[in-house]
Structure 1
Amino acid sequence: MPQQLFDPADVQKTFSMLTVDSHNTTLLNEISLRASVDDELSFGPFPPGYHFVRAENRIAGIPNEHFELALVNEITKEIVYYNRVIYQKDAFLNYMPVTQILIWRSPKPSHRGVLRDLPGKVFSQYLLEKYNVIITDRHQTRDGMSFWQSRLYDAIASGHHLYAYDMITCEMRPIMKDSDIGNQVDWLWGDEEHHQNRLAIISKFPLPAVY
C-alpha cells in the first residue's frame, strides 16, 4: 500500500483557513515573497495586482518533495488560488509524475474573472508542460473527479497518452478515445479500498518510460 500522503481532514482544515481572511493573510505572508513564476506561464498576463508564486518544500509534515503554487492579489492582500503539488516516483512507470493533492479557489465574486479556467490552464499549460506526466491523487472529492474527467477529455483532444493504472498490480489500461473514459470511470473511482490504488494518468509520452 503506498504511503498515505495527507490526511483528508487536513484538506478541509486548509480550505477553511484559506477562506478565513486572517488565516489567508498568514499564509500569504509566508509564501508571497517566494519566487514569482509569471514569466514561466504560457497563459496570462494577469490583471494588475495579481501575480503567480511558487514555494518549494515549505511544509515540514509532507514526506514527499513538493511545491505550492498560488495566485496572490497584492492590492487586496490575499491568496485567491492555491495548489499543493507533490512528486510521486513510481518504479514501474520509470518516471516521477506530479500529483495535485489540494486545490482551492476564492469564492469571492471579485476574483471570478481571473480564476475562470485557471485550474485547467495550470494543469495543462504549466504542470503537464513542465513535468510531462500527471497522475490523480488517492483521495478525491466529486469535484476533483469531475475536474480530472474534464482534463482527460482535453488530453485526448490534444493527442496525449492516457492510462488507468493500478499501483499494486501494475495493470495499465490505455485510454484511447472519449468512450474509454466513461468505460473506466467505475474502475478508477469508487468507495472500495482498492480504488485508492487506482490512478488516472496523463502523459506527453508512452508509459512505462523508456530512456
Structure 2
Amino acid sequence: MPLLIPETDFSDQLRRPSTNKAAAKKFLAKYPKPYHLEGFIIPEGYRFVTNKKGKQIRLIDKTDSSNPRIIYAVNIELSDKKIGQRSCTQVMVWSDPVEEELTIGLPKKVFSALLEEYVIMISDEEQTNDGKRFWERRLIQSLKNGHFVYFYDSFQLGSQLIQINTVDEFLEEYEPLGWGQDNEHKGKMFIISKMKI
C-alpha cells in the first residue's frame, strides 16, 4: 500500500492556470464522450467527460470557451494482476481548490460510482497525504456500509488477503501498517469490494 510521497507533478500542472488550460484544450481535442454520474448536476457551461477508453474522467469549465479549465480529474487503471480478479485503481485524483463549492464530495461520488461499476477497488502504490486521508475515509465508510475490506502485503512470504472487519480493527492494526516512507509500502494495499474475495 501506498508509499507516502510529496506533491505530484500532475497536481502542480493542474494547479497552475496556464498548464491547466493547456491540458484542458488537449483533452477536449481528443473528442471525449459525456460521463454520467448519478446525482451530480452539471452546471451550465461545464462538461463532465471521459476519454474514449473510459480511463480518464474530467470535469471541465467551458464558460470561457477559448480558455477551458480542468476542475476535477481522475485517471483509473483496470487490472486482474494484483489479486487475480478484475479490479479498478485510481492512479490520479485532483480537484481545483478554487472550485471547492462545486467539487466538494465529488471525488467520493466518483469513487462510489467506480466501485459500483467495477466491484473491486484497490489502493494505488503511491499517495500524497491527501490521498491517504481520502482512502482512510473510503475504507471507514466501506466498513460501515458492510462492504468487504482487505489488507494485502505482497512482500510477505505466502501473503494472503486479510479481511478487516471493523473500523477499530482498521485504525488500530492496519492503518499503521499501510502507509509509510520506504519502498516496501508500494507492495502493501487496501482493497474494497462489494463481494467476498
TM-score (norm: length of structure 2):
0.86
Q: Which runs of 5+ in 1 are unaligned?
A: 1-7, 58-65
Asked if the contact 1:46–1:114 (Cα under 8 Å) also holds between the matched residues in 2, the reply is no
Q: Percent identity?
A: 26
> Does the Cα contact within 8 Å between 2:35 and 2:57 map onto a contact in 1?
no
| Number of equivalenced pairs | 185
Higher relative contact order (CA 8 A, sep 6+): 2
Query: For 1:95, what is the secondary structure of its paired residue?
Result: coil
Question: Residues 80-118 of structure 1, C-alpha deviation per residue, up to 9 Å, x if partnerless?
Answer: 001111123226x3312111111111121xx22110111
Structure 2 residue runs without a partner (length 5+): none
Tell me the secondary structure at the aligned position of residue 21 of structure 2.
Answer: helix
Q: CA deviation at 1:168?
A: 4.0
1:88 aligns with 2:79: yes
The aligned counterpart of 2:180 is 190
* CA distance in structure 1 between the aligned counterparts of 2:182 and 2:12, rounded to whole angstroms: 28
CA distance in 2, matches of 1:196, 1:13: 19
CA–CA distance in 2 between the matches of 1:172 and 1:95? Answer: 12
State the alpha-carbon separation in 2 of the partners of residues 56 and 136 from structure 1.
24
What is the match of residue 110 of structure 2?
A: 122
Change (3 A) 1:192 1:25: closer
SS at match of 1:186: helix
Aligned-partner residue type, residue 44 of structure 1: F
The root-mean-square deviation of aligned C-alpha atoms, in Å, is: 1.9
1:60 equivalent in structure 2: none
Give the C-alpha shift of residue 43 in structure 1.
2.2
- In the aligned structure 2, how far is the partner of 1:12 from the partner of 1:188? 20
Give the counterpart of 1:34 among 32, 35, 51. 32
